[in-house]
Amino acid sequence: MAYDGTAYHGWQVQPGLATIQGILEEILSGIEGKPVHVMGSGRTDAGVHALGQVAAFDITNPIPPDNLRRAVNRLLPEDIRVFDVRETALDFHPRYHAVAKTYEYRVARGEICLPFERRYVHHHPYPLDAAAMALAARCLEGTHDFSAFAAADDRDELGLSKMRTVFSSALFDQGDRLVYRIRGSGFLKHMVRNIMGTLIEVGKGNLDELGMLSLLGSDWNRKAGPRAPARGLFLMSVEYPPASTLSRAGTLPSSG
């Protein structure tokens, strides 16, 4: 599914607030005639967008997947769209079975940000050393402790590991726009936005490659740069193991 996150308080249900999960559960519960719980591949923050979010739920209504997709889209607001529905194994979980996710962050560098782009980029019309940012971005590849890039989370008391594997981390200079793309095994709360904020500090000359490398560890005295705004961030895709292990129909896609 895809959504414009501007009007929503993130993915996760919150009492009295509009969220992606909450709207989906309301619609699907109406179709099913009883409460339906929707599981997502991850909890995108308020204002974050998605081009390839993956969600799953159980229903007993024998409606064919394509008909269900059309029915849900008729009921959804225009800034949320389901573009594919498939039947999976009963034990499939969109978060725990995911093997990789890709996020993209977009920075507009021009003096003027066009009105129809302002919700989907971080407007930063100031000098940045894109080459230095690209070198620093590569430092994040590999398996590291990303504690310095993680926001406080309600699951911190469980003592869960903050080790994550980043398969690729690259920044592309497109002239009036910078695009940062990161693909990894999983991401911590606000991790990508904190990485982007730190890369901007590199671009300003306030941090170098060694400074970026020094943040990769469990030393809580070191923290990342200021968090970048949510509006520039997109969840691009979620990847899963081969379809044969997850789908009775054998058709589950490898990415969102």
Prediction pTM value: 0.90
Q: Mind listing the pLDDT tens digit for each residue in 190-226?
A: 999 999 999 999 999 999 888 898 898 766 566 788 9
Q: What is the mean pLDDT of residues 19-39?
A: 97
Over residues 104-127, the mean pLDDT reads 95
Cα–Cα dist 51/8, whole Å: 15
pLDDT number for residue 249: 39
pLDDT: is 247 or 78 the higher one?
78
Looking at residue 83, its amino acid is F
Q: Which residues contact 69 (CB under 8 A, 6 or more apart)?
A: 82, 83, 84, 85
Q: How far is CA 134 from CA 113, 137, 143, 175, 182, in A?
A: 23, 5, 19, 14, 12
Contact 239, 100 (CB under 8 A): yes
In the chain the domains, ranked by start, together with CATH numbers, are 2-93 (3.30.70.580), 100-236 (3.30.70.660)
Task: Please tell me the distance from the alpha carbon of residue 39 to that of residue 41, in angstroms, as a whole number.
Answer: 7
- Owner of token pair 């030393």: 219
Confidence of residue 11 (pLDDT cuts 50, 70, 90): very high
Please give the positions annotated as active site: 45
Structure tokens at 3: 């959504």
Q: What is the mean pLDDT of residues 12-25?
A: 96
pLDDT tier, 78 (very low <50, low <70, confident <90, very high otherwise)? very high
80 with 55: CB under 8 angstroms? Answer: no
Q: Kindly report, residue by residue over 128-163, the tens digit of the pLDDT.
A: 999 999 999 999 999 999 989 988 766 656 667 889
User: Rounded CA gap, 63 and 57, in Å?
Assistant: 14
